Amino acid sequence: MAEWSWPMARGYAPPGHAVAAALRCLIAVVALSGTAMASAETALPPASAGPVSAQSAPVPAAAGPGAQQSAPPSPPVVPIPVPEIAQRAEDVVALARQSADRLAADSRVQDVENRLPEASEWIRARLVATTEALHASPSEGALTNLTDSWTLMRGRLADWNQTLTRVAIELDRELSQFETLRVAWSVSHVEGAVSSVPAPVLERISATLTAIVLARDRIAGRRAHVLLLQDRVVKEMARCDDVLGKIAHARGQALGPILTRDSVPIWSPEARVLVFRDLGQRLRRSFRDATELARQYLAGQAARVLFQVAVFVVALGLLGRARTRVRQREANEPGEPPGAPVFEAPISAALVVTLLAMPSIYLRAPRAVTNLVALLYLAPVVLMARQLLPPGLFPAVYALASFFLVDRVRELCAEIPVLEQRVFLVEMIFGIAFLALALRSERLMAAASGQPASRSRRMLGWVLWGDMAVLAGAVAAGALGYMRLARSLGTLVLASSYAALVLYAGVRIGDGLWTFVLRTGPAARLRMVERHRELLQRRVGQALRWLAVGTWVYFILVGLGVAGAVGSAVGTALNARYARGSVSLSLGDVVAFGLTVCAAFLVSSFVRFVLREEIYPRTRLAQGQSYALSSLLHYAVILVGFLLAVSALGVDLTRVTILAGAFGVGIGIGLQNVVANFVAGVILLLEQRVHVGDSIEAGDLQGEVQEIGFRASTVRTWRGGEVIVPNSRFTSERVTNWTLSDRKYRVELNMTVAYAADTAQVLEVLRKTAEAHPQVLAEPRPLVVCTGFRDSGLGFELRAWTRVEDADVVRSELALAVHTALVAARIELALPQREVHIWSARSEAGDLPRQQSSP
């Protein structure tokens, strides 16, 4: 602006220039004020948010005369250069057209607007039904169904709200973009009018301004519509939150002491009135609500449904192929192949596998969906039980399936507590009758135990008596009106039995599949599988059984309705924190530390097992090299696991580094021997001068290296003792390694023959004797040398090479063979001889002494 009005500052203002400067100032002020108004409009909260409170209102940064100077200045609006107006106008028209097409093609808002009336109607209708149900003292199952229904609707509304929020943000961004364009083109229009640009250019600017304003108004209208629709969605979410709060309050009242009467006795006149009041309508509504809830939930889980179908197809393919292979093996080999009964019903087995995978596929599925899936999989579970259990247990399986079906029907009656009470009592009475018949059935007992009187038979009898006592207690509690206690007792028997049956089938299927994998395909050709097949089967079977036990306990807790309470109690215990000074530890941190360290040791053990059984035999690594590599990997895995465990403990690793540096000097001085031995062990593993299995000699110690550990090594002496030797001894003292480069050892045998013996014959006999021994190596060849003259004959030495571990035996056998060969060749071994001089009386008279030689 100063550049436009500089003549006025010098006192010279021609009329034309003065008018132009005034127009420029006016349009600039209007443009900047329009920008500020648009920014303020964008920054205002939506109408549904209510008035802005004093706490949320912006507070000026400073007060007084200098307050306005602290605000950042608005950027100047630069007019569009005249040569660029044509191209920029085409770009703006294209941008407006793209914006209009995008708004027309975006169906997110229209989809929410079309589905919102249905959701509002559902909320209005269900609000009345839920209020009536809450006034009728509903059971825990009814409250769970209500919670699932309202939670599903609330989640759907929350998704719509997020969608509308994203659309509103996108519209705000486009609105700001077109407002910036409007300001720039408005300034350009005024500049063009003042600068006397051609009329077509001014018309192009005006048309562009009109397109910008139309696009801006279109976006602003869509934005207002989105904000109003979002306000409606938020109001419906608030209604859902209010109903969920009421359900939670009712659940808190219902979850009182378990010995509190929460229903009327079965003989009460009030019970007969309540059970027949709107019976058909309420049952139909309960069934319709459960079906609709399952449909709505599964409609939003299309990807998970497809994944579950894929799991079923894969399991079916594996089981079908396994059945074909098992039948072929059964035809070629006598006897039943391992896991054969599992593969006789591949469809049922695949459905059971899919059922067991359901909790990990559908996270937090509603109770209605869980009941529906359990009913769908009831037939496959029964068919699998027929394949895996003895025929005498079939009646028990059928009875359990019938009870489970009746129990699911009872779930549909949850909105009518008195009717649910009656169905529950009938179910428990029939359960008691079946258990009584089972106890009297010798066929059932014999089938379960396999012999007339056994420990398993007695245990089964005790379990049946216990179940019957629990069901009798459930009948008594339910008849007296203590339905929460009765449901807990009944669920303890029915849910545990059904879960045990499903998990038993799952464990058998998993065990059969694992057995099939280990006996066929590439896995069967692995060395570790060939050598340790039984071990691998047993370990995986144990893991599957422990997993099944844990899952069974979880299902029991869920069935009893105490899973949340138990989880909260465990979480509270794990979060219990001990703080003293700067040290703060919780039980969960300690557990995480222990589990991480154990996992590190397990991983290290598995990696070394795979290397030892599968990798090393296929390579040309020496025994010492393989041991060194395994030891280094063990140290690395343990170190990484320890660091992760320390991190899981909540300790900052930077502090650990500082502490390690601070204590390094102290550790080096106080534990210098330990550190020196540890470093020596690492040097031994890296330099590979001493390996495991080497025969060494260090001072008075001779033996074979059994282990090279962190601090010390174990050497097994030739006499059988195991000596623990510090590693520093191998690096600081002289060590003889008889097997560093190879395992050859020279055996030396010394002897003395008479001077009269034929030396050439002696050399030939000794050489042939050594070469004839089977454990003497051909290369280097045996060597016989004459070691010189001795007192009683010529000395010879036989030198023969053999393996270190055979040296003592070869030396002994060679000595015997040489003696036999020399005797056979009539070669006399020289014996020590001494001369004894005897002096007599005649020697004193000058006679010579008499000499006598004796050997």
DSSP state of 521: T
d(CA 784, CA 411): 99
Q: Examine residue 395 and say whether the peptide bond preceding it is cis (omega within 30 degrees of 0).
A: no
Q: What is the mean pLDDT of residues 630-644?
A: 84
Are 169 and 222 in contact by the 8 Å Cβ rule? The answer is no
CA 263 to chain CA mean position, Å: 45
**Lowest mean pLDDT, pick from 14-18, 106-110, 153-157, 357-361:** 14-18
d(CA 134, CA 145): 12
Percent of the chain predicted with pLDDT > 90 = 5
Closest CA to 563 of 550, 578, 576: 550
What tokens does 631 get?
Answer: 């030891």
User: Which carries the bigger pLDDT value, residue 659 or residue 341?
Assistant: 341
- At 652 the pLDDT is 63
**Lowest mean pLDDT, pick from 108-122, 444-458, 553-567:** 444-458
The SS3 call for residue 491 is helix
**How confident is the model over 729-756, as pLDDT tens digits?**
777 788 888 777 778 888 888 888 888 8
* pLDDT at residue 477 tops 50: yes
User: 285: phi > 0 → left, psi -120 to 50 → alpha, else beta; which?
Assistant: alpha
User: Which carries the bigger pLDDT value, residue 767 or residue 276?
Assistant: 767
Nearest 5°: the CA angle 246, 249, 254 is 125
d(CA 687, CA 705): 16
What tokens does 542 get?
Answer: 């144990």
Are 420 and 139 in contact by the 8 Å Cβ rule? The answer is yes
Q: Write out the CATH class of domain 744-837.
A: alpha beta
The SS3 call for residue 651 is coil
d(CA 664, CA 671): 10
Closest CA to 273 of 476, 136, 70, 414: 136
* pLDDT at residue 233 tops 90: yes
**How confident is the model over 573-619, as pLDDT tens digits?**
888 877 776 667 788 888 888 888 899 999 998 888 888 888 888 77
* pLDDT at residue 332 tops 70: no
What tokens does 828 get?
Answer: 């006399």
Closest CA to 189 of 268, 112, 96, 79: 79
Closest CA to 444 of 389, 492, 502, 403: 389
When pLDDT is cut at 50, 70 and 90, the band that residue 307 belongs to is confident
What tokens does 193 get?
Answer: 């009018």
- At 226 the pLDDT is 92
DSSP secondary structure of 560-617: HT-HHHHHHHHHHHHH-EEEETTEEEEHHHHHHHHHHHHHHHHHHHHHHHHIIIIIGG
- Number of Cβ atoms within 10 Å of the Cβ of 783: 15
**How confident is the model over 172-212, as pLDDT tens digits?**
999 998 888 888 888 888 887 777 778 888 888 888 889 88
Sorted by sequence, the CB contacts under 8 Å of residue 506 that are 6+ apart come out as 352, 353, 356, 548
Question: Which of 264-268, 289-293, 795-799 has the highest mean predicted lDDT (pLDDT)?
Answer: 795-799
Sorted by sequence, the CB contacts under 8 Å of residue 220 that are 6+ apart come out as 175
Are 826 and 849 in contact by the 8 Å Cβ rule? The answer is no
**Lowest mean pLDDT, pick from 98-112, 125-139, 240-254, 638-652:** 125-139
Q: What is the mean pLDDT of residues 307-331?
A: 81
Domain boundaries, the chain: 75-254, 274-407+483-571, 744-837
Helix (H) or strand (E) holding 751: strand 744-753
CA-CA-CA-CA dihedral for 89, 95, 99, 102, to nearest 10: 140
d(CA 64, CA 307): 66
* pLDDT at residue 630 tops 70: yes
CA-CA-CA-CA dihedral for 216, 218, 223, 228, to nearest 10: 140
Q: What is the mean pLDDT of residues 719-727?
A: 84
d(CA 762, CA 826): 10
What tokens does 414 get?
Answer: 């949850």
* pLDDT at residue 703 tops 50: yes
- At 696 the pLDDT is 83
Are 803 and 769 in contact by the 8 Å Cβ rule? The answer is no
What tokens does 49 get?
Answer: 């948010």
**How confident is the model over 559-575, as pLDDT tens digits?**
666 777 788 888 888 88
- At 698 the pLDDT is 83
- At 665 the pLDDT is 57
* pLDDT at residue 702 tops 60: yes
The overall average pLDDT reported for the chain is: 76
When pLDDT is cut at 50, 70 and 90, the band that residue 8 belongs to is very low
DSSP secondary structure of 61-95: S--STTTGGGSPPPPPPPPPPGGGHHHHHHHHHHH
d(CA 75, CA 531): 80
The SS3 call for residue 726 is strand
Per-residue burial over 145-158, b if 16 or more Cβ lie within 10 Å, else e, is bbbbbbebbbebbe
Q: What is the mean pLDDT of residues 384-412?
A: 77
d(CA 406, CA 424): 9
What tokens does 630 get?
Answer: 């395994």
Q: What is the mean pLDDT of residues 462-470?
A: 82
Closest CA to 396 of 459, 458, 445: 445
The SS3 call for residue 704 is strand
**How confident is the model over 50-107, as pLDDT tens digits?**
333 333 333 333 334 444 444 455 566 777 888 888 888 888 888 888 988 888 888 8
Instruction: Kindly report the pTM of this predicted structure.
Output: 0.57
* Burial status of residue 705 (CB atoms within 10 A of its CB: 0-12, 13-18, 19 or more): buried
Alpha helices (H) in 333-416, listed in sequence order:
346-361, 367-376, 378-388, 394-412
